[in-house]
Amino acid sequence: MFMFSIFTSLLIYFVGVFVFSSKRKHLLMVLMSLEYMVLSLFIMIIIYLSGYGGDYYFPMIFLVFSVCEGALGLSILVSMIRCYGNDFFGSFGLVLC
């Protein structure tokens, strides 16, 4: 069961990497795939610590940093949509915000 959980979370992580590399034209898809990868890493950390009897302070710190990363990504997305009107990376022209 332990190895199945690790392989499942690795599969989830690599699906996130694939989406990150294939859907790189939209900022929202990039941010969603990054959060998907962070969630899979969190699952791997929890599985690892529960298998070896570790404490759960590090996953809480990891969750705090991942929430901060998500909030920063959303603020960049909102400012980009306000300035350019969409979330395409190709729409960056010579006009700056």
CATH number where 43 lies: 1.10.287.3510
Q: What is the dihedral of CA 48, 51, 52, 53, to 10 degrees?
A: 110
**Total structural domains within the chain:** 1
Structural domain includes residue 73: yes
Q: Is residue 63 part of a domain?
A: yes
Structural domain of 55: 2-91
39 falls within a domain:
yes
- In-domain check, residue 70: yes
Output the tens digit of pLDDT for each of the chain's 97 residues: 778 888 998 999 999 999 999 987 888 888 899 999 999 999 999 988 888 877 888 889 999 999 999 999 999 889 888 887 887 777 666 555 5
With respect to residue 97, please indicate whether it lies within any of the assigned structural domains: no
Burial class (CB in 10 A: 0-12, 13-18, 19+), 33: buried
Do 26 and 87 form a contact (C-beta atoms < 8 A)?
yes
Tell me, what amino acid is at 63? L
**Residue 96 domain-assigned?**
no
Task: Let me know if residue 60 belongs to a domain.
Answer: yes
